[in-house]
Chains A and B, each alone.
Chain A
């Protein structure tokens, strides 16, 4: 009896704890706390299952005995868990609906849990066991004192206890069901099921819950996975759910999932894409100071503040009683409405007064006017855009903002490499892109972009960036810089394009000089980029609270239209051609010398003459090597290394040649001092490398076979 009581008290305690946990879980959106709650629940479930084993036998008798017990008792018992159980029942129903397909027997799940967690039981029991028990006792005592019927008090007590226990057992069972149901997200539905679900009215709550659960599983895949399902299945389900939740198409969501493998970050990013960024304006430093502008705007009834510490011209507008785009200050050209992200490429470009600058895709002229402001209206500024309609906006904005050093033209970006080759000091290429960084501005991006769109953009961007670099002047005194930027976060439109340029042209990446931003990728999935691509900068809406953006700054090294390696090779070739010319000249000189020396040769006699000629030739070669080659041929190599190794090789060759010559001259009586080494008998040397041979050796083959067999048998 005593044992059963303890058990029942314990179970009630556990169940109680369980309820608390469930409630806390409901309130708490925090993932971490959820995780903890689930882990605790597991323990509780395990305990609840472990407990009833022995009391089960004892249950039968008291139930029969308790038949005549008065109703009052029941009421009391119900009071204990009445409202909670009702609540819980609701939950159970709800969850049951969700996971009707679930077929896995409860038993199995339970045993699994037990195996996992039964070592933690003790610690849990010790938590606040005594207090709970005490309260239970109070209840019981009350019952007991109220009812004085024909049964013995101890019997009554036991009956009450049994009643209670039964109740608790029931609840525990339900609780278990609920626990299992809650964990049912581990039981992953297949993609087809989800698709079917989508066809009917999708339940957003369920989807949200499933997203959270799958992300949680993926967070610690090894321990939380369902062993029957693969990671791709989980990811596939997650992708489907995210697509339906946030309204993206499959392709784009896949791209984002690649970009943000961390589930929490992905969710943050997707949320940020739905929220608008604050309205920001740029004070036009050609006409007004930021401080004065802020004062004027505040007088107009706008609530403005400096936007960020890294910009001296940006203002953020919190709220405004007047339309931001129609105040007299706006019309007078005191400011321009533009996102903070569009200040970045111009800051990276850092145009100097007097430069020749080209903005290749400039509409609607925000960045262009910023450039003009930095140039203080001096030099020349070409503002180009391929679309005529958008060019009108450029003209309007530039005139409004008081820019008078600008030429507006409506050309394809590729034309500039033809009409003004090497004609600019700095170029800003804000390439047309898929706009995946500014989804909040245009929600249609979510569904309208597919792989073909991105591929097309990628192609256009590559053409533009080549053209831009070709119209850049590498020899300009303080220029030769190209800034490439996009409002996309996809790697295909950013790093891949810049990497392509690095492969094709003689240029290098330089630091952008921007204080904020995440470094660009040097490797991303199957892409492997040049290591210097880490100098480029990426911006994300959820990290920096500005639009998704990418900035790369490139310095042109020479006006040659070829890659860096090709340029090096060409230099080498040039140098070698030069050296050959010198060599030829030297040979001609030598020939004339030889002619003069012929008479001497005749005097010395034929036998000696031959040897001497050979020696002379050798000498000549050696001389050439030492004089010309070291000067000229190593010239291009100097760019690469110190040339120490090449020099050493040459020295050794020279030594060996001298030795050989000496040996040749030896008359067999060892008069020269060089002893000819006896040749070693050639040893057999297999052409097959040792390792390769080992791989096909009998022993290794045998071993391998053994291993394979061992693998197959279990």
Chain B
């Protein structure tokens, strides 16, 4: 367990910012205590300072997780968000998309979102922006990248891809073993 280096920090924050924009600062300046990012076995964990100290008394090998795992660094030093980060992305998300009930299941099985499955979308979504996917009952289901902006998708035909899948809740079942 160690604090993130400069490079790592910028990578992580850039990724987070693509989803929640300036709200990244809300993750650090919290009024309910000090929160920090830690790198443990090439995974980034976000937790309170107090919890981090407590976790530090367990040695590296047996310590599997603490706080919330946001994502991991790949071998080529890119940062990938994981579905576990959804708890922090969803409340602050800048761009959102709401799915029709019959498209929910499609998305939860790991498929991209077609235009026909979209019920609503945040106005002014640019292309290639991080976008959080909601069900009609406002339950966050996952996140992805917009393949088309709001304006483009209005003109597109119903089978066109609008959101590219990155993570969805179905991963809790599909690859539970890769979460840590």
Expressed in whole angstroms, the Cα–Cα distance for A382 and B58 within the complex equals 10
Stretch at the interface among B12-20, B152-160, B171-179: B171-179
Q: Are B62 and A409 in contact (CB under 8 A)?
A: yes
Per-position contact with B for A133-152: 1 when CB-CB < 8 Å, else 0?
Answer: 00000000000000000000
Q: Which residues of A contact B47 (CB under 8 A)?
A: 404-405
Interface size on B, residues (CB 8 A): 36
Which of A382, A400, A407 has most chain B Cβ within 10 Å? A407
Whether A404 lies near B67 (C-beta < 8 A) is yes
How distant is the Cα of A325 from the Cα of B173 in the complex, in angstroms?
A: 9
Chain B's closest residue to A419 (CB) is: B57
Q: Does A402 contact B (CB under 8 A)?
A: yes
Task: Identify A399's interface contact among B63, B69, B108, CB under 8 A.
Answer: B69
Q: With A391-B64, A399-B69 as known contacts, state yes or no: A326 contacts B173, CB within 8 Å.
A: yes
Render A325-340 as a binary contact track against B, CB cut-off 8 A, 1 for contact: 1101101101000000
Also in contact, A328 and B135, with CB within 8 A (given A404-B47, A407-B55, A410-B64): yes
B140 is an interface residue with CB less than 8 A from chain A: yes
Kindly identify which residue among A328, A404, A405, A406 contacts B141, using a CB–CB cutoff of 8 Å.
Answer: A328
- C-alpha spacing A150/B85, complex, angstroms: 111
A407 and B104 form a contact (CB under 8 A): no
Chain B residues, CB < 8 A from A332? 139-141, 169
Contact, CB under 8 Å: A406 / B87: no
Q: How far is the CB of B106 from chain A (nearest CB, A)?
A: 12
Asked if A393 contacts B55 (CB within 8 A), the reply is no
Contact with B along A304-334 (1 / 0, CB 8 A): 0000000000000000000001101101101
| Given contact pairs A393-B176, A399-B69, A328 touches B64 in the complex (Cβ within 8 A) | no
CB distance from A407 to the nearest CB of B (A): 4
| A391–B83 CA distance with the chains assembled, in angstroms | 18
Q: Is the interface of B mostly helix, strand, loop or mixed?
A: mixed
- A409 in contact with B69 given A331-B173, A392-B180, A400-B172 (CB within 8 Å): no
B35 to chain A, nearest CB (A): 10
B126 at interface (Cβ–Cβ under 8 A)?
no
- Chain A interface residue number, banded: 20 to 34
Contacts of B54 in A (CB 8 A): 356, 380, 382, 407
Task: Say yes or no: A408 contacts B64, CB within 8 Å.
Answer: yes
Q: Which residues of A contact B48 (CB under 8 A)?
A: 405
Query: Does A14 belong to the interface (CB within 8 Å)?
Result: no
Task: Please measure, in the bound complex, the distance between the C-alpha atom of A436 and the C-alpha atom of B179, giving whole angstroms.
Answer: 33
Question: Is the pair B84, A399 in contact by a Cβ cutoff of 8 Å?
Answer: yes
Residue B137 at the A interface, CB < 8 A?
yes
Q: List 26 A-B contacts (CB under 8 A).
A: A326-B173, A328-B104, A328-B108, A328-B139, A328-B169, A331-B169, A331-B172, A380-B50, A393-B176, A395-B64, A395-B65, A396-B172, A399-B84, A400-B169, A402-B87, A404-B47, A404-B87, A405-B48, A405-B51, A405-B67, A406-B66, A406-B67, A408-B64, A409-B62, A409-B64, A410-B61
